Amino acid sequence: MSVLAPDYSNMFATDGTVLRHPERPEPRYRPLRAIKSFQALIKDKEDTSLVFKIFESLPSGSFMTRARDLCLSEQGEMLRATEPFLPEILDDHATLRRTPKGSLAHAYCDFMEAEGLTAAGLVAEAESLGRTKFPDLLQWFMERSRDTHDLFHVLTGYGRDALGEQCVLLFTHGQSPSQGHLLIGYAGAANIKKMVKESAAPVVGAVREAHRTGKGAPSLMAQSIRELLPQPLEDVRAKLRIPAPVLYQECHRIWRAEGINPYDLLGNPASEAEPELLAA
């Protein structure tokens, strides 16, 4: 006896917004396309369109359940009303800087300004791919997932170096399981090990630690970002059960002792402000 899949196009928020627009294409599972995209990403780490292709090719079986549970909950309705578009909040550094020193907001501004990043820039990068938008709750859910990426960096303490990006991806898998996170995260870590094969740095241990931390932390997407930003960074980390990234820091310590720049594992001249990324 077969069990019919839920009709998500017949589920609505209290304001009438449908959970899944009936014209939104069904995701297709294409592992070979994902592997080819990952191989291309290793060769061209700046082509972030390949990251999107990997995630498209490996749709998560729990995605719709997670989206439904948040979007149709009271918390989700509140977040959609008060935080409909996070980049407008996150890029208003003048307002964020008015929070107390030591806050998550100050740490976020410091990180984004040091890296030359904006939340709007990530939006533009995603929208440059030309994907159709749909007036449904999934659109908000997916955009919120995208727009919290750099907050993950700040909260976890993982940088934008190659290992830091893999750690953030596996932390994210703990929050929002997807085979795309696993592929890029663990295969990316294996590639790092290959690049520095004589090193004693615990690369695999670092990404596993990140994975465990993500699994043990409550969902950041389900939190009020407006409420978290003014709070002391260390208080937010404690609330979200995010400990210091011990093994990641140990990798950096060992690499520097070995004469390896963690932000330039291939040995090419580069500054730490312009790291090579394995994923966006």
18 or 179: which leads in pLDDT: 18
Question: Which two tokens mark 266?
Answer: 């291939």
Distance CA 75, CA 155 (A): 22
What pLDDT band is residue 4 in, cutting at 50, 70 and 90? low
Does this model's pTM top 0.75? My answer is yes
12: β partners = 18
Question: Which two tokens mark 103?
Answer: 């806050």
108 or 49: which leads in pLDDT: 108
Question: Which two tokens mark 175?
Answer: 């929050």
Per domain, the residue ranges of the chain are 29-257
What pLDDT band is residue 2 in, cutting at 50, 70 and 90? very low
Average pLDDT over residues 33-60: 84
What pLDDT band is residue 27 in, cutting at 50, 70 and 90? confident
From the list 185, 164, 163, the residue with the least C-alpha distance to 174 is 185
From the list 188, 183, 197, the residue with the least C-alpha distance to 158 is 188
pLDDT tens-digit series, residues 175-232: 999 888 898 899 989 989 998 989 999 999 999 999 999 999 999 999 999 999 999 9
103: β partners = 232
The values of phi and psi at residue 267, to 5°, are 85, 15
